[in-house]
Amino acid sequence: MVGIIMGSLSDRKIMQQAADALSELGIAFEMEIVSAHRTPERMLEYASTARSRGLQVIIAGAGGAAHLPGMVASLTSLPVIGVPVLSSNSIDGWDSVLSILQMPSGVPVATVALDGARNAGILAAQIIGASDQEVGKRLDLFKEGLKEKVAVMNEELKNHLGS
């Protein structure tokens, strides 16, 4: 199971994309608001009990100073995927990107693009799929579907250009 956490309800629209990707791939998840700044005790409890509660990967989205992914990564040995979220108090998202990307040695956070929660969900599935053959098979089908979409786009482009 994957834990999807975010610093605020305003992040839900973006983080829902991770939930949607996991649902499409048949992977269970939970979704909660866990603020590094407003509920640090809750963040500590969430991260430190994640493995014992059955989580395999945590996706943490945050905007602005974006401390949530790094702080969670400091509290668990599970893989953490950070999603920088463009927020109303952000500096074009760069503050969030750099806060998540620039982690100190020993506390890695896999970081996806600004508002890239869909890729975070897919990456979480790939982490799980590295050891779960059923998830791996679903990912293989997903990747084949991407190839098919490109083939369809090429046909549409040819039709549009009149070739």
* Statement to judge: residues 56 and 24 lie in one domain: yes
104: domain CATH number? 3.40.50.1970
Return the C-alpha torsion angle 43, 45, 112, 27, nearest 10.
-130
Phi and psi angles of residue 146, each rounded to the nearest 5 degrees, phi first: -65, -40
53 is in an annotated binding site: no
* pLDDT computed for residue 163 by the predictor: 59
Range of the structural domain that residue 82 is part of: 2-131
Share in percent of the chain as helix, strand, coil (round to 5): 50, 15, 35
Query: How many structural domains comprise the chain?
Result: 2
118 is in an annotated binding site: no
Residue 16, CA distances (Å) to 6, 104, 163 in order: 10, 28, 40
* Statement to judge: residues 120 and 145 lie in one domain: no
Q: Is the pTM of this model over 0.85?
A: yes
Q: What is the pLDDT of residues 52-94, one digit of tens each?
A: 999 999 999 999 889 999 999 999 999 999 999 998 888 888 9
